[in-house]
Amino acid sequence: MSAHLTELLNAFNSTLPLAKARTIPSAWYFDPEIYALESTKVFGNTWQYVARAELVEDPGSFMTVEVAGQPILVVRDEKGTLRAFHNACRHRAAQVINEPCGHATKLRCRYHGWTYDLAGKLRGMPEFDGVEEFKKEEQGLPRMRVETWGPFVFVHQGQPKQMLAEFLAPLPQMTEGLGIAELHFFDRREYVLECNWKVFVDNYQDGGYHVNTVHPTLAGALDYSKYRTELHETNTMQISPMKTSDDPTVAKVRAGSHAYYWWIFPNLMINLYQGVMDTNWVIPLGPDKCRVYFDFYFADVKTPEARRFNEQSIAVAHQVQLEDWGVCEEVQRGLKSRSYDTGRFSVKREAGGYFFHQLLARMLRE
């Protein structure tokens, strides 16, 4: 570890009580060495959400994704076993599969045509006779651990210390009665933001602190005075009772007794209202850039009436996202101001934000 990196990591004190705490230093949001360290220690060493389970339900179905610079391939083999691999061919590292999702009977690299079976074993290499000290059986696609919870697929690139269920606890237990299993995927929206991925998470983790100022229409649907945050081992839940919004569009699509906002370390967020769920999955694209996928799920995705409702609900979420987008990019620019290094937390609101910084620092220093 370079002296520069050690100094940066030591600049954050994670032992202080919230009332005395400061945020991680601003350089953590744009320093390339911190970014590289996050790629291995955080994204390469935690359970990572990668896909909706329905995409890899049938034998032969696959999906690919790149998370923090690592190409990943998830496949359901012929026997029904879900598998995950590093999506880098053993020959010259081309992506063995370069489509986002689909079906296949074998995995054929398009570069020179090496083929792997759905279990990742190398089966064929054209014109490779005579190559010495080459053991075909050792040239399979490198595996990673894969598990599912409900509609979500997670992979772990390293040696997980916990099974997925333990890592997610108490989220599966606490959302049991909330009907996630009865919701169906409806649509995806994608946003590329000119900010570090942590700015997006910080914005999510501020305990509703920015709701009244940045989201006036959403604010009307939440009983802000009772909005609270619960901290768990590797996730948080923000919960707010709902009230009837003055805005009829918002009132219609944000119903139910409570809004639940779950954050799962480091980069997945699950927002739950009655009959409505959306996930916000933020993927780093560089120190200054991230991509956020919003996946929307609803109780009914078939009838025309329900589909109209769903579109309205997505429009409300899109409006909220535009508002968040603006502040996130502004924050990224401000973090580079020579005047700014760290900030303080609202004890009443921002426990989740400090908790995120503490978890992150722990992983980076491990």
Residues lying near Fe ion in the complex (CB under 5 A) are found at 324
Q: Which is nearer to ligand FES, 113 or 216 (CB)?
A: 113
- Position 103 contacts ligand FES (CB under 6 A): no
**Burial of 214: CB neighbours in 10 Å, binned 0-12, 13-18, 19+:** middle
Q: Is 112 in the site for ligand FES (CB under 6 A)?
A: yes
Q: In the block, which residue shows the tokens 């799920």?
A: 297
From 15-23, 87-95, 130-138, 209-217, give the range in contact with ligand FES by CB under 6 A: 87-95
30 binds ligand FES (CB under 6 A): no
CB–CB of 79/59 below 8 Å?
Answer: yes
Residues in contact with ligand FES, counted by CB under 6 A, come to a total of 9
In the complex with ligand FES, the residue whose CB is nearer, 117 or 329, is: 117
In whole angstroms, give the CA distance from residue 111 to residue 283: 27
324 binds, among Fe ion, ligand FES, none (CB under 5 to 8 A by kind): Fe ion
Site membership for ligand FES, residue 28 (CB under 6 A): no
Smallest gap from Cβ 66 to ligand FES, in A, equals 17
Entry field: residues in the chain: 366
- Whole-number minimum distance, CB 86 to ligand FES, in Å? 13
Q: Which does 350 bind (CB under 5 to 8 A by kind): ligand FES, Fe ion, none?
A: none
Segment contacting ligand FES (CB under 6 A): 72-80, 107-115, 163-171, 229-237? Answer: 107-115
Q: Using CB under 6 A as the criterion, what x/- string covers residues 43-82 for binding ligand FES?
A: ----------------------------------------
Stretch in the footprint of ligand FES (CB under 6 A) among 20-28, 110-118, 204-212, 291-299: 110-118
Residue 89 found at the interface with ligand FES (CB under 6 A): yes
Selected range binding ligand FES among 54-62, 90-98, 236-244, 323-331, rule: CB under 6 A: 90-98
One of 20, 92, 106, 362 touching ligand FES (CB under 6 A): 92
Does residue number 111 form part of the binding site for ligand FES (CB under 6 A)?
A: yes
Cβ neighbours for 308, distance < 8 A, ≥ 6 positions apart = none
Query: Alpha-carbon distance 46 to 67, whole Å?
Result: 12
Across 296-329, b (16+ Cβ under 10 Å) vs e yields bbbeeeeeeeeeebbeebbebbeebbebbbebbe
Q: How far is the CB of 68 from ligand FES (least distance, A)?
A: 22
* Binds 89: which of ligand FES, Fe ion, none (CB < 5-8 Å by kind): ligand FES
| Chain residues in the site for ligand FES (CB under 6 A) | 89, 91-92, 94, 109, 111-114
